[in-house]
Structure 1
Amino acid sequence: MRLHTFLILFALAIPLCLNGQHKRVVKADRAFEMRQYTDAIDYYRKAMKKVKKDKKETARLVFRIGVCYKMTNNSKKAESFFRRAMRGNYAEPLAALYYADALKQNGKWEEAKTQYLKYAEQYPDDPRGKLGAESIALTLEMLDNPNRFVVENMKKINSKEEDYAPAWGDSRYSSLVFSSSRDGVIGEELDPWTGLNFTDLFIVYQDRKGDWSTPGLFDKGPVNTLYNEGAASVVSNGSVVYFTRCRSVEGSDLGCRIYRATRNGQEWSEPSEVKLVNDSTVSMGHPTVSNDELEIYFSSDMPGGLGGKDIWVARRSNTGMD
């Protein structure tokens, strides 16, 4: 009787364990699909402990952790997990391509070139393998033949967080507007994509001696908000700004759009979206605008490009046109 009862309880426990295991993987996959990459890494690591006997599923989770690190700009860990996915015989072709990308990003030129050539041989219809190998050859050529330009770290402006997309803030070239996730941003929550602060626009000024001031917020609203703002283009001697805003609601990514705001004295107007296409599923950002505001270059994943995000241009004959 006791043995019979034990067998019944054991049989009931098996689907419960499998269901618990399945829920962990589903939770991780859901976070991944919603681009909550920092959460997804944690969930996948926990799920891996439950599927370690399933080599195929383990390889899939390892690959996805690699993608999470790739999307959060951690190329060293991305390289490690893509290598593990390859050794686990993960069948996804992108594992080999992303592994090569990570090697290149980490400066392992010859290893990256080898992986790109292997990918090109295995998937000849995908030009990314050949292009990747060619980019390595070009990089090595440039390293062997340095030019007269010197890249310096602007330590007084940069922080330990993400600082990117600098643009001149006025026609005298005496100020810089840039994007940053440093301390001092408006919001207090962390971006589930990066695990860092949401980015805001910052500004820094240069005096007559060429010294830069301490960076400060571009504004405390309405341009900067609790969402991600960045990649600005300032025109009309600093009185008009175009910038990127990427919104999310309850963890759901709503994509990026380009906005425009004007300055009256020290105050900025409520930004209005720049309507370039009618498709709400298209993401757009990183605007660069001519000073007369008749031409705008931007990045977008809209249909008709060569793949991923491409550079697009839109023109108008006068500023009164949409």
Structure 2
Amino acid sequence: MKNGYAALALFGLSILSTGLLAQGDHTSFNWKFEEGNKLMEEKLYNQSAEIWKELLDTDPENANLNYKVGYSLFHSYNQKAKALPFLEKASQMRSASNGYGSFNTAGYDPFDAKERNAPPEVDYYLGRAYHLNNQFDKADQMYQKFLDQVDTKHALRENAKRGIEQTANARELQAAPLDYQVSNAGPVINNDHPDFSPVLSVDGNALFYTSRRIRPDSSNASVIDPIAGIPYENIYVSYKDREGNWQQPEMLNINPAGAGHLASVNVAADGQTLFIYRDDGGDGNIYESKLVGEIWS
């Protein structure tokens, strides 16, 4: 009997160990799944994409994980082009019968680790990815597929309709191309960090633009945007000299502490009023800044 009890005890211990191991693996998946969702809610898309990729490596045929990778990459600061294959696969794998995973008859649940299917929104974002990749016919197909699936009150419905209008406009513009030359403004204007959103004064002598460069005094070197991993946006201006050369840009010191991003939008015809975008802690707003003497208000 002793041998029998010993064997039974070992058998029970083996089952318990196997169960704990399986539970540990399952908990690890659930923890990463929850963490990925939290990062998406915080708009830390580059970070969330890495977690979804880790989970996708363990289950490559999971439409929901493909969707979450694609969604995160599409909304990331610098990896939008990588989203297309993941969104394509998620859309192709999405259930054709009821649009949801077999376990969940109530609808898609983005926070349930058991969810294996993708939501109808995958077709909208796939349409956007095709759109940005100049594949307008495929974009229209996905926009229309999305419209056919969702009700009239869906938050992205008008965006999809607008997307179809935009692809039509793009075809017209590409059918009648203009002859123009694009050249780099040069190292005086451009930096090793992103420079964008240029606004030219009416006389062409002042160039306002947005940059994420480190300031000359390095005062923003440690003030990093957690989403992009680089400094926040600030507005710079460069003026032409008498020979028509752009001079060293100057930062407009109109960004209060804690305001986040500050970006150029437009400049009035008289050159005395600059319209700017300010992040305001995530609630972006448009402001105007007046030139008083040599200082922008």
Q: State the TM-score, normalized to the length of structure 1.
A: 0.66
Q: Deviations over 1:153-201 (max 9, x none)?
A: 44323456433322346x7542121112234475234423233332111
Q: CA deviation at 1:231?
A: 2.5
Alignment map for 1:94-243 (pairs within 5 Å): 94-123=121-150, 125=152, 126=157, 128-147=159-178, 150=180, 152-156=182-186, 157-159=189-191, 161-168=193-200, 172-184=203-215, 186-188=219-221, 189-219=223-253, 222=255, 227-234=260-267, 241-243=274-276
Task: Give the structure with higher Rg (CA).
Answer: 2
Taking the aligned partners of 1:88 and 1:178, their CA distance within structure 2 comes to 43
2:32 maps to 24
SS at match of 2:283: strand
SS at match of 2:279: strand
* Contact in 2 for aligned 1:120/1:127 (Cα 8 Å): no
| Farther off after superposition, 118-127 or 87-96 | 118-127
Taking the aligned partners of 2:54 and 2:207, their CA distance within structure 1 comes to 43
SS at match of 2:71: helix
Q: CA deviation at 1:242?
A: 4.5
Q: Deviations over 1:239-263 (max 9, x none)?
A: 6544222255xxxxx3223455556
Matched residue pairs, number? 257
* Contact in 2 for aligned 1:230/1:243 (Cα 8 Å): yes
Structure 2, unpaired ranges of 5+: 1-8, 95-116
Structure 1, unpaired ranges of 5+: 249-253, 270-322
* Contact in 2 for aligned 1:38/1:193 (Cα 8 Å): yes
1:39 maps to 47
Distance 1:87-1:25 versus aligned 2 partners, 3 A rule: same
RMSD of aligned Cα (Å): 3.3
* Contact in 2 for aligned 1:75/1:105 (Cα 8 Å): no
Q: CA deviation at 1:207?
A: 2.2
* Contact in 1 for aligned 2:211/2:233 (Cα 8 Å): yes
* Contact in 2 for aligned 1:186/1:224 (Cα 8 Å): no
| Percent identical residues | 19
Taking the aligned partners of 1:23 and 1:144, their CA distance within structure 2 comes to 51
SS at match of 1:137: helix
Q: By percentage of residues, which structure has more helix?
A: 2
For 2:71, the aligned partner's letter is V
**1:80 is matched with which residue: 79, 85, 88?**
85
Q: CA deviation at 1:7?
A: 1.9
Q: CA deviation at 1:151?
A: 5.7
Q: CA deviation at 1:99?
A: 0.9
Taking the aligned partners of 1:194 and 1:76, their CA distance within structure 2 comes to 16
